[in-house]
Each structure stands twice: as structure tokens, then as C-alpha cells.
Amino acid sequence: MLEVTEKLRQNNLKVTPQRIAIYNALCESRSHLSAESIYNYLRESYPTISLATVYKTLSTFIDTGLIQELNTSDGISKYDIVNDPHPHFVCNICKTLYDLPELKSMENVRNEIKDSTNFEIITEQIFLYGICDKCNEV
């Protein structure tokens, strides 16, 4: 993976400590972070960072295609580094957002969509809703 600094430069974004920290937080986190959770996480190392900066930075990253916003039924946006596309699973009970493995059959879906519309597709998001293992046990 490219150095963060490099990624920012490539997109004509000024390299600031806040941007590096936010990007790294998203890379390092195994879970899907909200703006608020990024903010709380970064406050330990960057006590003066503001929530507004987090939102503005995330918005910038979305515009440049570095990250993706995931909008699910709990009304809180989560953010995901754009790497290999993969579907997501949302538990209707605990609202946890899980990554699912990349699907081979998505290639067919993409082709079928390309044939059925002349819209220009940039990104794709697949959400499966249901009950996760943990909540099913209870």
C-alpha cells in the first residue's frame, strides 16, 4: 500500500497531521468507524482536533475517491477505505456492520448492469440485512 502522504499528494491535497491521522485510523481499524468514533479515537493523540475537521476531512476524502461512505439503517455514516470492493452485512438487532468476502459473481452483476443501463457506474455498495451469529445465539 502507498504511503499516506503519497496518496494525499497524488490527489492534490495538502498533507496535514490531521489528514494523516484520519486516514491511518481508517486503515488500521478493523471495524467500520463513524465520524464520532474517529474523533474520539484521535483525541488521545491529537487533543485539539475537532469533530468539524473530521467531517470536513472525510468529505474531502470521499470527493477524491479515497474512502467510501456507508449509509445503513442506524442513521450513522460509517467510512471505509476504498480497496477491493466487498459486500457488507448489517445486523438488524445489534446494528453491527460486517465485511463479507469479495464475491466472484459480482463480476456478472456488474456486466449485467452495464448492459441494462447507460448510467456511468463509479462505485457499488451491497448491503445484506439480517441477524448476525451473536444475536442469533441469544
With cell 464475491, the residue in question is 103
Give the Cα-Cα-Cα angle 46, 38, 19 (nearest 5 degrees). 60
Binding to DNA by residue 14, rule CB under 7 A? yes
User: Based on CB atoms, which residue is closest to a second copy, 27 or 128?
Assistant: 128
Find the part of the chain contacting a second copy (CB under 8 A) among 4-12, 15-23, 28-36, 90-98: 90-98
Supply the minimum distance, in Å, between the C-beta of residue 108 and DNA: 33
- Could you tell me the three cell numbers for 32? 467500520
Name beta bridge partners: 80.
68
φ/ψ of 10, rounded to 5, equals -55, -30
Contact 54, 41 (CB under 8 A): no
Q: Interface with a second copy includes 94 (CB under 8 A)?
A: no
Residue 125 binding DNA, by CB under 7 A: no
Interaction site with a second copy (CB under 8 A): 69, 71-73, 75, 77, 87, 89, 91-92, 98, 100-101, 103-106, 108-109, 111-113, 116-133, 136
